[in-house]
Chain A
């Protein structure tokens, strides 16, 4: 059981470049999330999705876009990368609220924008 798979693990971007962070889960979870985590800080929500075709903004959506065409996949697109987007990005999924609330995380993507 793969769980949540996130790629790539590491990436260096130049200012103004674009990239897509891939996230796939095989647990048939409805809810999926993208977070960023700056050094020594907590998780900040970028975007989330409650099912295929449904996405919504979190706390820090500017500079990012998402899509959810299938239950399994939730890619995050960075357009016109800026140094402020240097961070560790985590994708997570969970089945439901309440007792099914455990969130499963991908291994993270360490992104540096130079």
Chain B
């Protein structure tokens, strides 16, 4: 079967750094994406890794290791507005296979 595993909830302090991990098992793999979803909203795209290594976009970075079927999203200088759910998604053949999401709780 196809599956993605990520923690259900992560708590961090405003201004800190947090890492959200994702491990995957899929029949096809073109890349790993990360999406952010605020309560009541639609998912929005954050980043995409097709090759091993780190991709940086402002305060957000994403990492991929294809040999370990593992990736993570790193959020730096956390702000209250980063409180949301974060999803990893594998680009597999014609589909996007989604994890169950990680709820990020940020405390002042």
Q: Interface segment, B10-18, B60-68, B75-83, B98-106?
A: B98-106
A42 and B98 CA atoms in complex are apart in Å by 7
User: Which chain A residues lie closer than 8 Å to B44 at the CB level?
Assistant: 105
Residue from the list B33, B45, B95 in contact with A48, Cβ < 8 A? B95
| CB within 8 Å for A31 and B94 given contacts A42-B100, A98-B31, A101-B48 | yes
- Considering the complex, give the chain B residue whose CB is closest to the CB of A6: B42
User: Which chain B residues lie closer than 8 Å to A58 at the CB level?
Assistant: 95
| Cβ–Cβ contact B99 & A101, under 8 A | no
Cβ proximity bits A37-64 to B, threshold 8 Å, 1 near / 0 not:
0000111110010100000101000000
> Is A33 located at the chain interface by the 8 A CB criterion?
yes
User: Which chain B residues lie closer than 8 Å to A92 at the CB level?
Assistant: 43, 96
| Cβ–Cβ contact A97 & B91, under 8 A | yes
Chain A residues with a Cβ closer than 8 Å to the other chain, count: 26
Give the secondary structure class of B's interface: strand
Residue from the list A42, A50, A56 in contact with B99, Cβ < 8 A? A42
| CB within 8 Å for A106 and B42 given contacts A42-B98, A42-B100 | yes
| Cβ–Cβ contact B42 & A90, under 8 A | yes
> Is B24 located at the chain interface by the 8 A CB criterion?
no
> Is B72 located at the chain interface by the 8 A CB criterion?
no
| Cβ–Cβ contact A90 & B94, under 8 A | no
| Cβ–Cβ contact B101 & A41, under 8 A | yes
Residue from the list A42, A101, A104, A107 in contact with B31, Cβ < 8 A? A101
Give residues 68-114 of A contacting B (CB, 8 Å).
90, 92, 94, 97-99, 101-108
| Cβ–Cβ contact B87 & A43, under 8 A | yes
6 pairs, CB–CB < 8 Å, chain A vs chain B: A31-B94, A48-B94, A58-B95, A98-B91, A103-B96, A108-B42
